[in-house]
Structure formats: structure tokens, C-alpha cells
Amino acid sequence: MSRKKKKAAPLQNITIESYAAEGKSIAKLEDGKVLFVDNAIPGDVVDAVITKDKKSWAQARVTKLVSPSPQRIEPFCQHFGVCGGCKWQMLPYSQQLVYKQQQVTDQLSRIGQVELPEMLPISGSPRERYYRNKLEFTFSTARYRTFEEIEARDEKFQQEPALGFHAPGLFDKVVEIHTCYLQDEPTNRLLTVLREYTKARGLEYYDFKKQYGWLRNVIIRVATTGEILVNIVIHHEDEAERVALLQHVKENVPGITSLNYTINPKMNDTIYDQEVVCWFGKDHIEERLENFRFKISPKSFFQTNTYQAETLYRITREFAGLTGTETLYDLYCGTGSIGIFCSAGAKKVIGIEVVEDAIKDAKINAEMNGLTHCSFFAGDTEKVCTDAFFAEHGRPDVIITDPPRAGMSEKLVNQLLKMRAPKVVYVSCNPATQARDLQLLDAAYKITRLQPVDMFPHTHHIENVALLELR
């Protein structure tokens, strides 16, 4: 005999009191339990249903906006609240920045528990829309259905194909995207051309559960130089259909300077280990930050908001305080962008990155900019930075570290404590893991400057730059 899980009773007229973190807001129930609510802002009064219930806290989903907060504005995107991106469109951008600065302050003080200087004002993005230089869309046999769609009818839906973004938390469902405000044209034009052509030709979209189908992803990079790179990812080779598809895109989407394809037969979408084939144009595009040129290949990492990357790097360079005599180490250097951007003030730049392809690009970028005092090395920092390496290349006077969201490994933190560079500039895309690392570095370093930088308007994501100086 099957037992259906009892549905939690809906909550009514819940007042949202404050902002938490990670895009959630907070309400308190009568019994004192803390309620974390998605898609709500302080001042809202909502009806909600609990989705996760713990002893002292719960998570909830809004089912009805009873009374909107005075801060709330009308979202500008038709996909708001469904696709999972741009979750803060209902907040004025100025207020988003207030909450983001609060998030950094709260996480550094609560998690880091170290002495903090007065934080500099957050630097907002010069563009609030069309700021991303890279987007990836997915072809799927399963269009995501909203709660409202499902509740509006009793019978089971027929499965529909979709081209868009993965639905939040669902690997096999995709939200159909018609107009996206994250990236400049020709992105929306390309989506329309691909959708109309592939459906007219009856081309199979990929089924993530059954692991079959042909069309998998399309990756689009749009540079401020005007160059455009497109990479269409398919599951297996079908030369006649592939050539016809690429030719159709080339003829109907103007401005593409690099048109590529990748065959990915794996069960997951990652293509770092797959060959990218250039079918038309150059095999890369070029980006610029100030007067520096950067080669961006289909698999390169580059700061996603080029317009704000200059600001982030200028703050990093200012915090580093280079005078022309220092040996600068750039850890997690990727394709060398931060080290190269700061190179004019350094006697020598040493970049270290575990991804070998990124180091190849970093060396090309240094050469493109005529820099002979920048050297890049592939490997784990704790393995590369030996006494023999220091004897050959010099010990660091300044270290810049820009790790992924997981932060630095404890081994690397211990390595920094041993290296004892006079200054460390820590660029973070996750203040929570940065706070954890700063607590460990507190054994030898004092935090002297802090400045948040917003790279992703309308999301909860925030970067933070911290200057640490040896005690």
C-alpha cells in the first residue's frame, strides 16, 4: 500500500523581513522558526508553501504575492521567475547593490571572524543588461513546465522540445528562451534562427534521460571588439546535416567571425576534453581590456562581464600598489588576464594555473601584447612553488590570487603562509569561501582594504577584493 507524502499547509500573509544571502530573503514564523524564501524581497507580504522543513528553519516557495514591497519594481524579462537567472529583476539596481554589500560584510564577519577595515563602497556594473560576453544554451526534448501550467490541467503533458537554459535544479528540463537580456545581439537572433531551422528540418534535440539525440548545446561569445564566436555542440557526426546547419547559421546570422562545432558523445555537457573544430572564420576572437589584447578561444576562461572586468582589475592593480620593482605572482592565472593587466607596474610577472590549455593561451596573450617579463607555468601552485623555483624566478613581493567559487585549498593557504609575500590581493567570486580562507591567513596577514565589485546585475552573485599585508 503506497503512502502519499502529506503536503504542508500553505502559509498565509507572511511578511518578508530582511535579506539573507544567495538570493534568499527571511521571514519568521509565529513559533520563531526562520523561513528562507525564494523570489521575495524585504517588505513583501506573501503566501508560501514550505519546500524543506528542519527543526529551526525551513525553505519556502512563494505561491502568491499578497502585498508588494515598496521597493519592488516590474521585472523587464518575460522569463523572470522561471529560467532561474536574473532573480533580482524586481529590485532596483541601486538596492541590489545595497544588499550585495551587506552580503559581503555579513559573510566576512560571521564566517571569517577576523578584524576588518571599513569596507569601500561597492562598485556597480556600468551595464545592467547585455553585459555577459558568454552564454550557453541547451537543446532538450523536455520543455520545463511551470507550476501554473501543471496545475491548470489534469491530463499529462506531451513532451515538447526546447532551446534555452536548464531549469534550476533539473538536469533534463530546459526553459524555452525567446528573448534574453544578458548578451548583445546576435544572440537572440541566433536562437530564433536555430529554433526555426531545427524544428522545420525535424532535427533531434538531445534527451538527457535516454541519452540520445543530435543537437546538444550552442555556446556564444560576443566581444567588445565586435567579434563573435559560436560553437554548436552535437552528439555525433552527421556530416550532411552538420554542414547544412552551419551554412544556414552563417547565411542568416550576420556578424559571426568564428563559427565552430564540437562532437560530444559523453553523458555530460562539458567539452573541456573534446575537440573544437573551426568551420568558418578564425578559431578565436579577440577581446580588449584597456590597451591589452586577449585571445579568446572556444574553451578559454575569461571574466564574463568585460565591461566590469576592467574595474575589477583596476581595483586589483591599485590594491597591489606596484612600483615597477616587484615580482608579482598571479595564482589561478587562467589565460593570464590579471597578471598581464598589472604587468606595467611589475618588474616580473609569474602566472601559475593548473589547466595547461589556459597556460598556452596566457603565453600567446603575453606575446600578443609584447610582454617579455611575463612567464606562465602549468601545475598546482603548492607543487610549482618550491625553493628551486624561487631560486630561479624570485620570491613574490606581491601575490594576486583569484580562485574559483570553492576558494583556495588548505594546502595552498599554508603555502601562502610559507611564501610570506609582503602583500596578497585576494579576488573572490564567493565571499563565503573567501571568509574561510581569510580566517586561516589571519595567522600572518592583516586585512587592510576591502571592496566589493558587482559583475552580475540582477543576480545574488558578488565579487570581493581584499588586500592582505604581512603583520
> Would you call 429 a catalytic residue per the annotation?
yes
Domains and CATH numbers, the chain: 11-72 (2.40.50.140), 97-127+302-470 (3.40.50.150), 134-289 (2.40.50.1070)
Catalytic residue among 180, 374, 385, 429: 429
For strands 57-67 and 34-38, give the pairing: parallel
The grid coordinates listed for 269 are 555537457
Residues facing 399 on adjacent strands? 329, 424
Write the secondary structure of the chain as one string of H (helix), E (strand) and C (coil). Answer: CCCCCCCCCCEEEEECCEECCCCCEEEECCCCCEEEEECCCCCCEEEEEEEEECCCEEEEEEEEEEECCCCCCCCCCCCCCCCCCCCCCCCCHHHHHHHHHHHHHHHHHHHHCCCCCCCCCCECCCCCCCCCCEEEEEEECCECCCHHHHHCCCCCCCCCCEEEEECCCCCCCEEECCCCCCCCCCHHHHHHHHHHHHHHHCCCECECCCCECCEEEEEEEECCCCCEEEEEEECCCCHHHHHHHHHHHHHHCCCCCEEEEEECCCCCCCCCCCCEEEEEECCCEEEEECCEEEEECCCCCCCCCHHHHHHHHHHHHHHHCCCCCEEEEEECCCCCHHHHHCHHHEEEEEEEECCHHHHHHHHHHHHHCCCCCEEEEECCHHHHCCHHHHHHHCCCCEEEECCCCCCCCHHHHHHHHHHCCCEEEEEECCHHHHHHHHHHHCCCEEEEEEEEECCCCCCCCCEEEEEEEEC
Q: What is the CA radius of gyration of the chain?
A: 24
Residues facing 34 on adjacent strands? 28, 57
Q: What is the pLDDT of residue 29?
A: 87
By CB atoms closer than 10 A (0-12, 13-18, 19+), residue 209 is exposed
Measured CA to CA in angstroms, residue 104 lies from 13, 351, 453, 466 at distances of: 30, 28, 10, 11
Per-residue model confidence as pLDDT tens for the chain (471 residues) = 444 455 666 899 999 999 887 778 999 988 888 999 988 999 999 999 999 988 889 999 898 999 999 999 999 999 998 888 898 999 999 999 999 999 999 999 999 999 999 999 999 999 999 999 999 999 999 998 876 776 666 666 678 899 999 998 888 899 999 999 999 999 999 999 999 999 999 999 999 989 999 999 999 999 999 999 999 999 999 999 999 999 999 999 999 999 999 999 999 999 989 999 999 999 999 999 999 999 999 988 899 999 999 999 999 999 999 999 999 999 999 999 999 999 999 999 999 998 888 899 999 999 999 999 999 999 988 888 888 998 899 999 999 999 999 999 898 999 899 899 999 999 999 999 999 999 999 999 999 999 999 999 999 999 999 999 999
Q: Are 351 and 379 in contact (CB under 8 A)?
A: no
Q: Are 348 and 393 in contact (CB under 8 A)?
A: yes
